[in-house]
């Protein structure tokens, strides 16, 4: 049987297709690198006691830059927390794990307003959460250094840090594990004193 040789045209098409694929990959790598360098340009802002306006400006500016599905582990929250969360673009869904919502009824009223017109807005209470960060795998993670509420920001010396998502993989995985597992499954890991409850929406 005669051996079929690919035509010159076919070879050219294969070469061009391969070059196009490589160009796309290179372009994506450059975009990722630019995004990461933008994150690390100003990745730490030191806040001293009394600099509440500065702390709020940094938090609000960075929250406004988030993209995609936003997740957060926030130890203490109150009604003022939702004013900051409102800075996150409305196209972003938000999932929050908290351990200590203060003045719960007022939090729910604010959550209803903040969650309006978003793909989703959900809050779960787990009493073993003591972290203070918020962000997205599609953009960056903000390590707040204090509670995301008015009576904490600027009332102590702390640092607000911006991290590329790949530097925060362990915390993101931990969040997803807490979010997905049932209360009984989590009790097997953390002990019977753990409690998990969806607080918004009920």
In order, the DSSP letters of 5-30 are: PPPHHHHHHHHHHHHHHHHHHHHHHH
> What is the rounded distance in angstroms from the CA atom of residue 110 to the CA atom of residue 78?
9
**pLDDT band at 53, cuts 50/70/90?**
very high
Task: Give the contacts of 26 (CB within 8 A, at least 6 positions apart).
Answer: none
**pLDDT band at 176, cuts 50/70/90?**
very high
> What is the rounded distance in angstroms from the CA atom of residue 77 to the CA atom of residue 190?
23
Domain 42-200: which topology? Endonuclease; Chain A (3.30.870)
Predicted pLDDT at 8: 60
Mean pLDDT computed over 110-130: 94
Tell me the two tokens of residue 51: 């600099």
Q: Are 62 and 147 in contact, with CB atoms under 8 Å apart?
A: no
Predicted pLDDT at 40: 44
Mean pLDDT computed over 33-40: 50
Cα–Cα–Cα angle for 107, 109, 114, nearest 5°? 85
Cα–Cα–Cα angle for 83, 152, 109, nearest 5°? 30
Mean pLDDT computed over 106-117: 92
Predicted pLDDT at 33: 57
Predicted pLDDT at 191: 94
- Mean pLDDT across the chain: 88
């Amino acid at each position: 049987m005669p051996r079929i040789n690919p035509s010159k045209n076919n070879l050219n098409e294969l070469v061009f297709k391969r070059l196009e694929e490589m160009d796309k990959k290179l372009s994506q790598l450059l975009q990722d690198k630019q995004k990461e360098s933008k994150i690390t340009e100003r990745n730490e802002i030191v806040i001293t006691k009394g600099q509440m306006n500065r702390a709020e400006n940094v938090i609000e500016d960075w929250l406004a830059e988030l993209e995609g599905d936003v997740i957060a582990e926030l130890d203490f929250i109150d009604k003022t927390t939702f004013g900051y969360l409102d800075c996150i673009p409305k196209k972003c869904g938000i999932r929050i794990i908290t351990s200590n919502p203060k003045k719960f009824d007022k939090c729910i009223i604010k959550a209803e307003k903040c969650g309006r017109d978003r793909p989703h807005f959900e809050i779960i209470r787990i009493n073993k959460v003591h972290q203070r960060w918020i962000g997205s795998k599609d953009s960056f993670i903000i390590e707040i250094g204090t509670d995301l509420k008015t009576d904490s920001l600027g009332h102590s010396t702390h640092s607000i840090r911006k991290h590329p998502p790949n530097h925060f993989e362990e915390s993101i995985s931990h969040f997803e594990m807490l979010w997905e597992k049932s209360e009984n499954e989590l009790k097997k890991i953390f002990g019977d004193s753990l409690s998990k409850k969806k607080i918004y929406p009920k």
